[in-house]
Amino acid sequence: MARISALPVPASQGGYALGRMRFSCVTNAMNEIRSAAMIVNAQSRKGRDLFKRACSAMKDLPFPVDPHAVRNPKTLDAVMEAALAKKPDLVILGGGDGTISGLVDHLVGTDVILGVLPFGTANSFARSLGLPLDVEGAVEVLASGRPHRIDLGKIDGDHYASCAAIGISPKIAQSVPHWLKRYFGRLGYLGWAALQYAKFQPFTLIATREDGREERMKAVEVRISNGPYHGGTEIVECASVDSGEIVVEVVQGNVRRRLLENWAEIVLRLDARHEDVIDLTGKSIHIRTEPPLPISIDGEVLARTPVTASVAAGAIRVMVPAGQSAS
């Protein structure tokens, strides 16, 4: 029986996410997991409500869970380090793709298994893993699923879970005023996005492979993917979380209209979504742009070109549904 308290940490400590997986050997997760820690990003009211639901759903797990509701995101790393110091077999992270990417570095080089509670908006990482997106379904995977070794993407030395992007998305995220989102919500955000689109210009991408081959092209968007989902939508269809390669997908174009066309083709699942799109794959690809541009990593603007995009093959183990089949 899992031991869970309703208010596990002080409010001052203000901790979500297989579409395409190739499973190898299967281990009995219950034989491996004797204790767990749960860290949930509880900055928002939604996060606090989901934390309470998760605690309730975990009461019947066959191992104890040490829960942490983190209201201040700046303390997430410290809470993670403190939780790992107790040597749990499983660390459960609840939040969006940004929360998971921000904490996943702590698990690299350890035997600790990752569990994911998809508490974000897009939940691209959870979708790539084939996880249920509801609280109870995600908790059931912790009880009946199995650990599977997966890759992580890397931008220079920073590990991330799902997708990085170059183009208009990081420009919007980097420049949108906080007061605009606070007072006008989604409408204000969309208005700002339209303004940024009006100013957006295609850029030159120079990609250099490990063997020195260089490719130069005009682009409207670049997606650096460890999995097929980006923004909650299946976009980079050849990417997989256990392929052992990183995928740099380039939407080519000389006019910004091509970006809107590609987005519409993806949403409508038209065959034309593959036109003027190039997928570069490999263990490591050096990327620079003219001019230098910001890079969003799972929704957070954390880097700027030039960078080296690479894969950390088999970097961590994560709980996935027991019945997940390869495709």
Closest CA to 158 of 112, 226, 94: 226
What are 239-297's pLDDT values in tens digits? Answer: 999 999 999 999 999 999 999 999 999 999 999 999 999 999 999 999 999 999 999 99
pLDDT at residue 173, as a whole number: 80
Retrieve residue 8's tokens: 């596990």
Q: Which domains does the chain have, with CATH numbers?
A: 11-151+316-320 (3.40.50.10330), 163-314 (2.60.200.40)
Retrieve residue 3's tokens: 């031991």
- Which segments in the chain show pLDDT lower than 70? 1-31, 181-182, 185-186, 324-327
pLDDT at residue 197, as a whole number: 87
Map tokens 């390669």 to a residue: 245
Cβ distance 126 to 118 under 8 Å? yes
Estimate the crossing angle of helix 168-175 against helix 178-199, to 10 degrees: 150
Cβ distance 297 to 158 under 8 Å? yes
Give me the DSSP letters along 95-162.
E-HHHHHHHGGGGTTS-PEEEEEE-SSS-HHHHHHT--SSHHHHHHHHHH-EEEEEEEEEETTEEESS
DSSP-derived secondary structure letter, 271: G
pLDDT at residue 23, as a whole number: 36
pLDDT at residue 12, as a whole number: 36
